[in-house]
Structure 1
C-alpha cells in the first residue's frame, strides 16, 4: 500500500500535479515535489503496535483551507482518512476513496471478530460518501460491490521493473538467505510479519520438502512467534530489506510463497514476477489478480497444505517449468508501468469532479485546471501513513 501511494505521488509530480499528504508517524516534510503534513497518532496496541492511527486536529483543517484542493483522496477511510472523507462532505469538495485494506477481515484475523460487523458498516458508509471508489484488484472490486459500496472502479496494478529484475540475482544474497546452503532450493516470503499474513501455512510444506530452505524478509509484531515455530527448519529471518538488497533477495530465490488470505492486491507478488521468480499463492483476496495460474505461478485454495506443498515441489523440482514461468512472469510485469496506472487514477479524479458537478477549465498539459491556470491539486489523506 505504501509503495503504491509513494510511486503514485512520484508520477503525479512528474505529470505536473501537486498533493498535500497527511500522514501519522514520522513522515518526511516533503515527498518529491509534494508537502507532507504530520498528524498526531496512536499505536493500535496490543493487536498491531506498528500501525499508527492518525488523529484529526484543527491544524489539518487550516492546512486544507490554505491548500484549496480540487479533489480529496481518502486512502482507506477508517480513522484519519475517515475525517478526510467527512471534511470533504462538509466542504462540498469532490471525493475519491481507495480501498487498500479489508479492515473487517483483518479484525477477524487479529481476534477482534465482534467488531467486524460494525467495521463493515463504517467502511461502507464512508466509501459511499465518495463519487469514485478505487479498488486495487478485480476481486476487491467484486468484494466492495458485494459490501454495498457504490461507484466502484479499478486502480490498475503496476510494478517497478527497473528496481526489480532477474539481473539483480546475487550469489552473496543467496548464501545469506540459505544460511550458507546455497545449493539447497530457496523459497522466499516477503512482507509484514503479522498474524493475518498466515505465514504459519508455510511451516508444514517446508518440513515436507527436504533440501529446501525458507527465507522470510520483513518484520512485525508476529516475528518472535514465527521464529519460535520455525525453529529447526533452517528458516532465515532477515528483518526488513530495502532497495538493492530487497531486489537481490527476490531475484536470488527459486520460488516465491504467498499464503496470505487478506491481500487486496499483493504487490510483493508483482515484485517477484518482475524479478523473474514464479509465485505460489493463496487463491484469495487480490492475489489471483496478480498471478496467472499455470503461467506465472500457481494458486492454491486457502488451508490446502497438501496442495501448497505439491505446487512448491512441482516448481522446485522442475527447472524447465520454473524457468518458463519465470520468463512469463517477467514479461507480464513489463506490461505494468506506474505512469499508465497513475494516468488512470488521474482520470478517476476527473470523474469524481464531474460527478460532483464541477467542470474545470481545460489547461494545456493537464486534463483539468482551475481558472488561475495552476495544475489541479490533490490532497491525499492516509489513515496509516507512509512508513
Structure 2
C-alpha cells in the first residue's frame, strides 16, 4: 500500500504526535508499505526511510506559543500526484491539512483524518478563547469531509462526537517496549525523582508540580522537554528544579529509568503517550484527573489521580504511590500497547476505508488513481 501522511507537526519537533508518526512510519515500512510524509519545513531533521516533502512555514507568538505552521500551498497537490498514494492520512489537520484534503478530493483519493490535539482548549490558554467556536467550525468542516476519522483515545472520540463529527474510530495507542524498559532496580539515593516529559507550555499545567520540589515536598523535580513557558517556569518553580531540555532515544529512556515517579499535570492532552513510556519503564504515575488520563491508565493499580480544581497535598499523594512496588504492574499495563499491535489496527482501518471507497463513484477525480495493493 502507498500511504501519504500530511502532518502539521514533524521533526525536529518532539511531541506525542511526532512520536506516534515516527513509530507508525517505521512499522509500515518494515512491512513493505511505501510512505510519503508531507510536513512543515521547521528546521533540519534526519529520519532515514520515508520520502519527505516540505512546505514553508509561518508562525506568531500569540498562536500556540509561536509554533510554526505549514502553509497550505498548491505544491501539496503536486506531491500527492507524483506519489500516487492509495490513501491520504491527514494528521491533526489544521492549516496544511486543508491543502491535503482539497488535493486528495480533486484527485479522487480516500482521506483519513486523525485528531490528536484539543486545539480549542489550547486556545484558551493563549487568550484566544473567543476563537473557540470558529476553531470547532473549521475542525468539523475538515473532519466531515474525510472518509474515516480517527481519535487516539475513547475520551477524544466522545469529544468529537459531541461536536458533531460522527463515526469516529479509535487509532490504537502504542509504545516502544524495547527502548522503554525498567531499570534493574530503583537506585535513587536521597530525594526521589519526580519526572515530567513533554512540552513546557501553559496548557500543560506544570505550575501544579511546584509543591513537589519545595523543601517540604521532598522530591527532586525533573522536567524533560522544551517550549514557550520554559523561561517562566525557571523563574517560578523552586530553584533546584532540573530542566534537561529535549531528550531523544536512549537519553530519554535513561531519564525514565533514573526516575522514581512520573508526573502528568496536564488536563488538555487527548492521550499522553508519555504515560505509556513511563509505565513501560516501570514507573508509577501520578496524573491530574482528566478523561484522557483515565482512559490511558484504566485498569492499572500503578497510577493515582489528583484533582486540579481543589487543594491537594501532592507530595503526600506521591509518597503514598511510592510506598508500594509497582514496577511489574506498570510494565504489564504498557505491554498491552506495542506499536506492532497499534499498526495492525491502523492497517485494518485503512483496508476498510479502501473497500468502502471502491464501491463509491469518484466525483472529484481529475487524474488516474492506482489500484491499491494488498494490505500487508
User: Higher mean Cα deviation, 331-340 or 267-276?
Assistant: 331-340
Contact 1:195 1:222 (8 Å CA) reproduced: yes
**Counterpart in 2 of 1:215?**
222
Task: Structure 2 unaligned segments of length 5 or more: list them.
Answer: 1-16, 361-368
Q: CA RMSD in A?
A: 2.4
Contact 2:174 2:337 (8 Å CA) reproduced: yes
Contact 1:27 1:38 (8 Å CA) reproduced: no
Q: Secondary structure at the match of 1:44?
A: coil
Contact 1:30 1:36 (8 Å CA) reproduced: no
**Counterpart in 1 of 2:340?**
339
- Which structure has more RCO (C-alpha within 8 Å, separation ≥ 6)? 1
Provide the aligned length of Structure 1 versus Structure 2: 352
Alignment of 1:185 with 2:196, yes or no, is no
Contact 2:212 2:219 (8 Å CA) reproduced: no
Q: Secondary structure at the match of 1:149?
A: coil
Alignment of 1:254 with 2:283, yes or no, is no
Contact 1:24 1:39 (8 Å CA) reproduced: yes
**Counterpart in 2 of 1:382?**
none
Could you tell me how far 1:376 is from its partner in structure 2? 6.8
Alignment of 1:129 with 2:145, yes or no, is yes
Distance 1:289 1:27 in 2: 34
Shift of the 41–311 alpha-carbon distance from structure 1 to 2, 3 Å rule, reads: same
Task: Structure 1 unaligned segments of length 5 or more: list them.
Answer: 175-181, 360-368, 378-387
**Counterpart in 1 of 2:355?**
354
Distance 1:251 1:30 in 2: 26
Q: What is the aligned counterpart of 2:24 among 8, 22, 25?
A: 8
Distance 1:276 1:45 in 2: 38
Shift of the 15–370 alpha-carbon distance from structure 1 to 2, 3 Å rule, reads: farther
Contact 2:183 2:258 (8 Å CA) reproduced: no
**Counterpart in 1 of 2:276?**
270
**Counterpart in 1 of 2:232?**
225
Distance 1:46 1:142 in 2: 29
Normalising by structure 2, we get a TM-score of 0.87
Contact 1:189 1:256 (8 Å CA) reproduced: yes
Alignment of 1:71 with 2:87, yes or no, is yes
Shift of the 92–169 alpha-carbon distance from structure 1 to 2, 3 Å rule, reads: farther
**Counterpart in 1 of 2:103?**
87
